[in-house]
Amino acid sequence: MPAFAQEAGGGVTDTTSGWAFRWINFAVLVAILVYAFAKAAPKFRKNSEDITRKIAEGTRAREAAEQQRREVRAKLAAIDAEVAAMRAEAERGTRAEAERIRALAKAEAEMIERAAQAEIAAAERASRVELRAAAARMAIEAAEGMLRERLTPGDESKLFRTFVGELERSAN
């Protein structure tokens, strides 16, 4: 083991010059530390400002995100009401459209019924006219048949002379 020698009486460090060297060493060390801090201070300040700025930006971003979250939640809450309103509007529209179609169908049915009634009336009138014509034809045929049976050649010549006489009178 190495032996450490000790001076008796405290040695160089107990003297005034020892104390002066200690104070000089201390002053140099303090000066180096002050110089190092002075050189590093702008970097520390800049870092501090950057950190402060980033914290402020983060706070603003967080507040903006919170505001967006609140808006989204409000929209989500309102979306149910909007969907319900849209459904109600669609229901009203469907009912109105169904009612319009019913009214249109009813109007068309009434129009078809009126047209059918008019067609029936026209067919009835045509049938009556046809029936009258057929009755007249049958009456004429029956009268002609009866005349042929009852009319003799003398009656026929007398009827012809009467007809010619009436024609002469009407011509004058």
> CA separation (Å) from 50 to 19, 63, 65, 135?
45, 19, 22, 120
- Per mean pLDDT, which range of 46-55, 65-74, 146-155 is the poorest? 146-155
pLDDT at 141 over 60: yes
List the domain boundaries for the chain: 17-116
Radius of gyration of the chain (CA): 67
Taking residues 100-117, report their average pLDDT: 93
Summarize pLDDT for 8-49 with one digit per residue, the tens: 445 555 788 888 899 999 999 999 999 988 888 888 888 889
Distance of alpha carbon 76 from the chain centroid: 18
The pTM for the full model equals 0.37
Taking residues 75-91, report their average pLDDT: 88
- Predicted pLDDT of residue 11: 52
Neighbours of 158 (CB within 10 A): 12
Neighbours of 21 (CB within 10 A): 13
CA angle 159, 162, 164 (to 5 degrees): 110
| Helix, strand, or coil (residue 67) | helix
- Is pLDDT larger for residue 7 or for residue 152? 152
What is the distance between the alpha carbons of residues 46 and 51, in angstroms, rounded to a whole number?
Answer: 8
Q: How confident is the model at residue 90 (pLDDT cuts 50, 70, 90)?
A: very high
- What percent of the chain has a predicted confidence (pLDDT) above 70? 92
Taking residues 88-107, report their average pLDDT: 93
The two three-digit tokens of residue 54, written as one number: 């980033």
What is the distance between the alpha carbons of residues 41 and 138, in angstroms, rounded to a whole number?
Answer: 138
What is the overall mean pLDDT for the chain?
Answer: 86
Neighbours of 151 (CB within 10 A): 13
- What percent of the chain has a predicted confidence (pLDDT) above 90? 49
Longest dimension (CA), the chain: 203
